Amino acid sequence: MSDTIVIYYSLEGNVDFVAKKIAENLGADIFRIETLKEYPKKGLLKFFHGGKDVVSGVKPEFKGELPSLEGYDKIIIGAPVWAAKPAAPLNTFFDKVNLSGKKCCAFASSAGGNSKKCLEIMAAEIAKKGGTVEACAEFTNPLKKPEAALKTIAEFTGKL
């Protein structure tokens, strides 16, 4: 077991790509959050359901339980950006976890390249849960721009 874990939610695979590379670079454990009810992956329904849930503060149920964070010193949290906020499953995550005394990092992936507000929200949630934010990273379409994503991943993990 590593002293670092990457915990993330991914809808279309962009955050999944980044999370796996970060975990690989750091030799970290990894956990993908999955919701009981899956969100649509395409079309207008994707934006409607995802946007509505995140704006309304919905906390979707997870498949299974989150791993215990007790043995980890560093928690890296990743999410896609929905309506300038972390995806709705992160509402559930932050509701369930205690990050007291944990060093945390956050990353967000968007199609439009503006993850700043999302990362600010994640940092505030981390602080509310007792964690300390050490670093944040933004990614734009990592699956379409893997070279840029890999460069950002190397810079991000280099700080950790």
Mean pLDDT by 10 residues, the chain (160 residues): 94 96 98 89 65 80 95 97 93 97 97 89 97 96 96 95
Return the structure tokens found at 38: 């899956």
Q: What is the pLDDT of residue 30?
A: 98
Evaluated on CA atoms 46, 152, 137, 158, the torsion sign reads positive
Return the structure tokens found at 115: 């993850």
Q: What pTM does this model have? A: 0.93
Q: What is the pLDDT of residue 76?
A: 98
| Maximum pairwise Cα distance, the chain | 41
Q: What is the pLDDT of residue 53?
A: 78
Q: What is the pLDDT of residue 44?
A: 63
Nearest residue to 77 (alpha-carbon basis) of 154, 4, 144: 4
